[in-house]
Structures are given as C-alpha cells and as structure tokens.
Amino acid sequence: MSPQIDAVILAGGMARRMGGNDKGLVELNDQPMIKHAIDRIKPQVKQILINANRNQDRYAEFGYPVLSDEDSGYLGPLAGMITAMGQTQADYLMVVPCDCPLLPTDLVQRMLKAIAAEDAEMAVASDGKREQPVVLLMKPELRESMKAFLDAGERKIDFWYAKHHCVVCDFSDQPNAFVNVNTPEQKQQLSEAIAH
Ligand SMILES: Nc1nc2c(ncn2[C@@H]2O[C@H](COP(=O)(O)OP(=O)(O)OP(=O)(O)O)[C@@H](O)[C@H]2O)c(=O)[nH]1
Ligand SMILES: [Mg+2]
C-alpha cells in the first residue's frame, strides 16, 4: 500500500521583507500567494494543513485546518513544522513554504522515491544549485529530534537535517519551480513572468 502523505504549507513567518504583510495572503496575479501553493500541492497529498500565526480566520476560508505555532514567539519555520508533525496522522509530512507559487507538480512523488531509493529518513529538494531547506518530506516521528534541536536554541534547519539520513532530491530539470517571493520586487518580477 502506498504511504499516506499530508502537507503543511508554512505561512507563519513575519514577512519582514514583504513589509510585514502576511505573505500567504498577499496577492500574486489575483490570487493569494498561498492559493498558488495549495493548487500545486493539493493533488499530491491526502490532507493539507495550513500553518499561520495571524489572520487565522482568513486562512481557514481555504477549507483546511489552520494550525498556529505551539510556541508563538516566531521561532522560525521549525516551529511550524513541529506543530504540524504533532497533528498529522500520515506516514510522511511534506513541508512547503507559502511563498513558492510554482512548486513542482511531481514534488511528492519524486521526494518519496528519493527516500525509498536510499532508505533515508527524509528528503530535501534542490533546484540543482542549492537546497531548499523548507521543502522537505519527512516522517512525523522526527518531531522529537526537531523539538530538542529548537529547544536547545538552534534555528538553522540545515544543521538539523545534517544529523539525520537526509537525501537530496534533485529538481534541476525544473529550476524555476522553487522561485521564492520574499519582496514586493520579486512578486512584481514573477507576476510579469507568469503573465507572459
Ligand atoms: N510557523 C512559522 N513559520 C515561519 C516562521 N518564520 C518563517 N516561517 C516560514 O518559513 C518560510 C520561509 O521563511 P521566509 O521566506 O524567510 O519568510 P518570513 O520569515 O516570513 O520572511 P522574512 O521576515 O522576510 O524573512 C515561510 O513559509 C515562512 O512563512 C515562524 O516563526 N513560524
Ligand atoms: Mg521565503
């Protein structure tokens, strides 16, 4: 039987580079940014979870459970992942950010295959040039390890996954899939690129 996979879309950051505007709700070509991510991921998983720390009512309108960080101190993406790992019943959790509107339509399938090929604990996506540290597929059982790492004051996720058997899943055939919208300028650029 194929494993059950849920996804969490991380939208719990402060979005300082976006002027503090809640990035998942900022519109890109007439749709909230998170809706682009939802449309990419929904066909690939059983259940979507949204992780948000403000505007929870607006996020709830997308029709999926909205989880806020257990620790509300804006401790970074790890806090959102820990929260979602504690909620999911799935075999694997796919983590994606809300600010990558062009995620691969074969993301989950390839990440799962990469894990199986090496009997790894988790996979991190790469665009061929660099790893995408918040695009991860992992077993929810890793929650305790991640929580201990965060509780120890560590924040950098790549240091955490270096402690585990993590395989890099290469998407150099679609490098634009991980285009990341952190600033109004990046949003404008992508908006124009999509429109053409
Ligand atoms: N749950 C949760 N997610 C976070 C937190 N900080 C960042 N993220 C998420 O992690 C992903 C990558 O982070 P960034 O792109 O740097 O987003 P950000 O921190 O909101 O933006 P900046 O303040 O401009 O760095 C995004 O999907 C964020 O929503 C946090 O404290 N809690
Ligand atoms: Mg970002």
CA gyration radius, the chain: 16
Q: Residue 76's pLDDT is what? A: 94
Task: Find the domain containing 144 and state its range.
Answer: 5-195
Name the residue of 21, 22, 23 whose CB sits within 8 Å of the most ligand 1 atoms, as the mutation to test its pocket.
23
In the structure, what pLDDT confidence band is assigned to residue 45 with cuts at 50, 70 and 90?
very high
Tell me the CATH number at 153. Answer: 3.90.550.10
* Ligand 2 centroid from CA 112, angstroms: 23
Q: Which residues are annotated as a binding site for Mg(2+)?
A: 99
Nearest to 109 by CA among 98, 89, 125: 125
Question: How does pLDDT run across 54-72, given as a tens digit for each residue?
Answer: 999 999 999 999 999 988 7
82 residue type, one letter:
I
Q: Residue 140's pLDDT is what? A: 97
In the structure, what pLDDT confidence band is assigned to residue 175 with cuts at 50, 70 and 90?
confident
Count how many domains the chain has.
1
Nearest to 121 by CA among 79, 93, 157, 86: 93
Name the residue of 182, 183, 186 whose CB sits within 8 Å of the most ligand 1 atoms, as the mutation to test its pocket.
182
Name the residue of 18, 22, 25, 74 whose CB sits within 8 Å of the most ligand 1 atoms, as the mutation to test its pocket.
74
Calculate the average pLDDT of the chain.
Answer: 96
Q: Residue 183's pLDDT is what? A: 97
Cα 126 from Cα 113, distance rounded (Å): 15
Instruction: With a cut of 90, say whether residue 1 has pLDDT above it.
Output: no
* Ligand 2 centroid from CA 15, angstroms: 8
Q: What is the mean pLDDT of residues 107-135?
A: 97
* Ligand 2 centroid from CA 4, angstroms: 27
Q: Residue 194's pLDDT is what? A: 87
Return the C-alpha torsion angle 99, 62, 66, 87, nearest 10: -90
In the structure, what pLDDT confidence band is assigned to residue 2 with cuts at 50, 70 and 90?
confident
Q: Residue 71's pLDDT is what? A: 81
Measured N-to-C along each axis, helices 33-41 and 107-118 cross at an angle, to the nearest 10 degrees, of 60
Instruction: With a cut of 90, say whether residue 196 has pLDDT above it.
Output: no
Question: How does pLDDT run across 84-115, given as a tens digit for each residue?
Answer: 999 999 999 999 999 999 999 999 999 999 99
Ligand 1, pocket residues at CB < 6 Å:
10-17, 23, 51, 69, 74-77, 79-80, 97-99, 134, 182
* Ligand 2 centroid from CA 33, angstroms: 12
Specify which residues 8 forms β-bridges with: 49, 95
Q: Residue 73's pLDDT is what? A: 85
Atom 2 of ligand 1, nearest CA residue: 12
